[in-house]
């Protein structure tokens, strides 16, 4: 996206929309995350984003003075609301670490279905070294109140002896993301490795829940079922 050039203006997520500009700006961000997930950010031009959102390249420059501001907006206005959607229901959920984890996983699957660009963009631009959204996303994760509360709850559950003490609270949520988003992002390639593989989203969700709740033993502590 070399067509966008940084300016000396203070960093912000773009210009404030004027009048009926808001709808076009939203379309542009929707098109950007879709194209970024399909092609990668480095392989997506301003002209492609503009064409996909039915706006002119001049409007892209009006809303975002630089590529950095566009990427800031992708994280702040597309990723951040999804993170809030993951964490906010957990804040008022009944106590219990296993129901909490199950609820998080189910919401991750639901959010990925509603925002199908998420798994691929996460894999391309956040997980991979050099991903252009990586540092922005990591900063937001470190500052996120829901993530801190989750780590605290995991540590408390370990102190009570409710879950495995060898689990690392600081990386458990990253593990949950990997269990959900990595298979979704790579689902189109499974048949290349195992041709007979036919795993749909519902089957994958059941698999991840069973793996987290039961592990490899097939046992599950009582009173852990929930309806997130």
Radius of gyration over every alpha carbon of the chain, rounded to an integer in angstroms: 20
More confident site: 154 or 16: 154
Longest dimension (CA), the chain: 60
21-66 architecture in CATH? Orthogonal Bundle (1.10)
Report pLDDT for 1: 44
Say if CB 119 and CB 181 are below 8 A apart: yes
Asked if 82 and 74 touch (Cβ cutoff 8 Å), the reply is no
CB 86 within 8 A of CB 108: yes
pLDDT of 217 = 66
Span 139-172, pLDDT tens digits: 887 777 778 888 888 999 999 888 889 999 988 9
Task: Quickly tell me which residue has 């195992």 as its tokens.
Answer: 194
Domain boundaries, the chain: 21-66, 69-214
Mean pLDDT of the 28-41 span: 96
What whole-number percentage of the chain has pLDDT above 90?
Answer: 47
SS3 assignment, position 186: helix
For the four alpha carbons of 106, 111, 113 and 118, in that order, the dihedral sign comes to negative
CB 123 within 8 A of CB 185: yes
Task: Inform me whether the pLDDT recorded for 216 exceeds 80.
Answer: no
Per CATH, 21-66 and 69-214 having the same topology is answered no
Averaged pLDDT, 21-32: 93
Q: What is the pLDDT of residue 75?
A: 95
The mean pLDDT of the chain is 83
pLDDT at position 30 over 60: yes
| Residue 112 · residue 91 · CB < 8 Å | no
pLDDT in tens, 183-212: 999 887 876 777 776 778 898 999 999 998
Question: What is the average pLDDT across 210-219?
Answer: 76
| Distance in angstroms (rounded) separating the CA atoms of residues 98 and 86 | 15
Mean pLDDT of 56-64: 91
Burial tier of 10 (Cβ tally within 10 Å: 0-12, 13-18, 19+): exposed
Dihedral sign for Cα 220, 164, 88, 123, please. Answer: negative
What per-residue confidence (pLDDT) applies to 106? 95
Q: What is the pLDDT, as a whole number, of residue 223?
A: 47
pLDDT at 120 over 60: yes
Closest CA to 209 of 119, 102, 94, 110: 102
Which of 32-41, 91-100, 134-143: highest mean pLDDT? 32-41
**Whether the predicted pLDDT of 78 surpasses 70:** yes
* pTM to 2 decimal places: 0.81
Superfamily (CATH) of domain 69-214: Tetracycline Repressor, domain 2 (1.10.357.10)
What pLDDT does 17 receive?
52
The predicted structure's pLDDT at residue 225:
46
pLDDT above 80 (res 227): no
Minimal CA–CA distance to 107: which of 122, 85, 79, 126? 85
């Amino acid at each position: 996206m070399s067509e966008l050039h940084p300016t000396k203006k203070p960093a912000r997520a773009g210009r404030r929309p004027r009048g009926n500009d808001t709808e076009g700006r939203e379309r542009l961000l929707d098109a950007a995350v879709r194209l970024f997930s399909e092609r990668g950010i480095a392989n997506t031009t301003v002209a492609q984003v503009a064409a996909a959102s039915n706006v002119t390249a001049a409007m892209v420059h009006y809303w975002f003075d630089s590529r950095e501001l566009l990427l800031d907006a992708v994280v702040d206005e597309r990723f951040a609301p999804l993170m809030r959607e993951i964490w906010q229901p957990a804040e008022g959920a009944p106590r219990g670490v296993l129901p909490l984890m199950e609820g998080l996983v189910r919401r991750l699957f639901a959010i990925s279905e509603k925002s199908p660009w998420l798994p691929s963009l996460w894999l391309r631009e956040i997980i991979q070294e050099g991903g252009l959204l990586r540092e922005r996303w990591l900063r937001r994760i470190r500052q996120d109140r829901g993530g801190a509360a989750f780590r605290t709850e995991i540590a408390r559950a370990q102190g009570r002896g409710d879950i495995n003490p060898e689990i690392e609270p600081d990386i458990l949520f990253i593990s949950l993301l990997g269990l959900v988003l990595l298979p979704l992002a790579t689902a189109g390639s499974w048949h290349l490795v195992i041709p007979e593989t036919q795993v749909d989203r519902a089957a994958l969700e059941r698999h991840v829940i069973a793996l987290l709740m039961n592990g490899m033993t097939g046992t599950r502590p009582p009173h852990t079922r929930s309806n997130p």
